[in-house]
Amino acid sequence: MPSSIRAPQALEAPKESVVSRLLIAPLTFVSFLLSLALIDTRNTSLRTQGRNAPSQPTTLLGRIGDSVHSLVYKPMPSTSPYAYISAPDAKNGTAKGKGYEPWHWHTKQRQQMKAEISDAFAVRMWVLYALLGCALSSLVGAWVIGRWMLGFVKGLM
């Protein structure tokens, strides 16, 4: 075997920086989980509202929340993957005849999961901005309280 033919050397994966490992990756993961929870909560609320007759809020806070909700969220079309799926045998009882296939709740679960994940990726940047805003305001609040406490302690001496 000639010595000029050699296997290519394996390339090492580039090492991640400490900032990327300790700050960016956890922030990205947490923002995705929060956006997924937000999307899931919204879609669950929309599905349950689609089934039940909407009731009018009785308190001022309820009316404000209802008006903000109508500004933020669009009505869900019936062709949406988030739409409520009623069982096919629910309308005509439990008639089991030839070719009857039982209906299961997971009929459209894969389509719903894909739609929720894509929506979560779309919302993730806004959730990340909100997380960073909360962290920044917490730091500013801690700094202001620390300065106030330092001034208070100096005033006592």
Domain ranges of the chain: 32-48+64-85+107-157
Give a three-class secondary structure readout of 84-143: CCCCHHHCCCCCCCCCCCCCCCCCCHHHHHHHHHHHHHHHHHHHHHHHHHHHHHHHHHHH
Residue 91: name the closest of 80, 103, 99 by CA.
103
pLDDT at 3: 61
Collapsed DSSP state (helix, strand, coil) of residue 2: coil
pLDDT at 149: 94
List, run by run, the mean pLDDT of 10-residue segments along the chain (157 residues). Answer: 66 75 86 89 76 69 77 64 55 50 59 84 88 94 95 87
pLDDT at 65: 77
pLDDT at 140: 97
Please state the length of the chain.
157
Query: Which pLDDT tens digit goes with each residue over 65-105?
Result: 777 777 666 666 666 665 555 555 555 544 455 554 444 55
